[in-house]
Amino acid sequence: MKKLVYLLLASVSFTNLVAQEYDNPGAYMSAINNAQLEMNKNYMSYMSAVAHGGNAKKVEKMREKTLESVLNCKYKISDLPYYKGDNSLRQSSMAYVDLCYKVFNEDYAHIVNMEEIAEQSYDEMEAYILMQEKTNEKLKEANMKIDSAVKKFAGKYNVQLIDTKDEIGRASCRERVS
């Protein structure tokens, strides 16, 4: 019987550690932002390698590492509890991260494959450029949605947002470096 009580207490204690409650909406927003930090760093490294025409194998490994960090970000956000019963920011963030995963897993892989054949003809180059534009448009739309969700959440809970522009923020999955 004592073992059952200890097991029950241990599981309750563990649950409290895993499902941390956030009393402060700013801390909750920071938790989501911090979850995206590694994803954004890997994205920045990947885009830098692509922009500088890095070795194809190295770039592909970086894309795979970025995909892994996108999944880790999603898991971290999905582990967050609702904020006082409000799932809006968490859900919007997960939808954004899902789109980033789709872009990296499908669109960028397709763009990399198209890049090699794009130089062979005008039509193929045109298709390559169009694919890049469509991908950028998807990211721009996703960026607008998540920014709107952040502003709405901040407004609802009286959080003052401070606009900062750092290297990672500028080169996040939200915007493509040209």
The owner of tokens 């801390």 is 27
Nearest Cα residue to 11 out of 19, 1, 54: 19
The confidence score (pLDDT) of residue 8 equals 31
In whole angstroms, how far apart are CA 92 and each of 48, 86, 112?
27, 11, 28
pTM: 0.77
Specify the 3-state DSSP secondary structure of 6. Answer: helix
CA dihedral (105, 90, 36, 48) positive or negative: positive
Per-residue pLDDT tens digits of the chain, which is 178 residues long: 433 333 333 333 333 334 457 889 999 999 999 999 989 899 888 888 877 876 777 888 888 899 999 999 999 999 999 999 999 999 999 999 999 999 888 887 777 777 777 778 888 888 878 888 998 899 899 989 999 999 999 999 999 988 776 655 544 554 433 3
User: Could you give the CA distance from residue 153 to residue 168 in angstroms, rounded to a whole number?
Assistant: 22
Neighbours of 174 (CB within 10 A): 19
Token output for 4: 């059952």
The confidence score (pLDDT) of residue 1 equals 41
The confidence score (pLDDT) of residue 167 equals 58
